[in-house]
Structure 1
């Protein structure tokens, strides 16, 4: 019986620390975006970006979508539907060109069920590039 209890304790011990390892970021969405853009300088807003050149995208909960193109981060604060953005959403982009523009919409799908969960109307894309060393 003691061997069974010891084995159960060994299995349960790592589980006790798991919540800390997977804890959500406690910063506000604006603080998360600020941290992501740290050391970068905003450029002039653009209506479109080259979707084909996009390496990745990241959703900032209820705030923005950040597209990475090379070393530039393009921040899009949707004109509509930003309150529906979740950092665990899958973005489904439907466009007839290789560009993503401020007139486009992006569908949101739940990562677990893959069910449609809303959409956002994109705004302008603001480029953030690393500040040049002096």
Structure 2
């Protein structure tokens, strides 16, 4: 009886490690993450600058874009060198005016390796996305 209990415990433990996790989720691509974030919003006319002091939140979408929240509007910037974007990097932006503008650069620093420089991206036009008006 004792041998049976030990064998059952061993088999259960081996099955737990061998079987894939039931809750495992597939990781979304950058484009899929961005589409999910923009769901229910409509694109507006691109602008060359946004007011930096009014930016409430910044989200980096891996290898895709930087999304800036200003009020209820999400501004999507698809910078040059977007393949360098990593949502775990620290972004360092040097401002020369009170606005964040096209052609400004954002330095990327790896937070896991002593803040080591990890490249840069060059900002392009900002595309505003606002919530679509409710259908009546």
- Bin of the TM-score, shorter chain as denominator length: 0.7 to 0.9
Runs (5+) with no aligned partner, structure 2: 1-16
Could you tell me which residue of structure 2 aligns to residue 61 of structure 1?
62
Q: Which residue of 2 aligns with 1:73?
A: 74
How does 1:1-134 map onto structure 2 within 5 Å? 26-78=27-79, 80-112=80-112, 113-134=114-135
Tell me how far apart the structure 1 counterparts of residues 89 and 81 of structure 2 sit (CA, whole Å). 13
- In the other structure, the counterpart of 2:7 is none
In 2, distance between residues paired with 1:126 and 1:40? 12
**Bigger-Rg structure (1/2):** 2
Unaligned runs of 5+ in 1: 1-15
Q: CA RMSD in A?
A: 1.6
TM-score of the pair, normalised by structure 2: 0.78
Runs of 4+ with deviation above 6 angstroms: none
Structure 1 position 103, deviation (Å) = 1.4
How many residue pairs were aligned?
A: 113
**Alpha-carbon distance, 1:24 to partner:** 7.7
User: Structure 1 122/83 Cα, relative in aligned 2: closer, same or farther at 3 Å?
Assistant: same
For 1:47 and 1:24, the matched residues in 2 are separated by 37
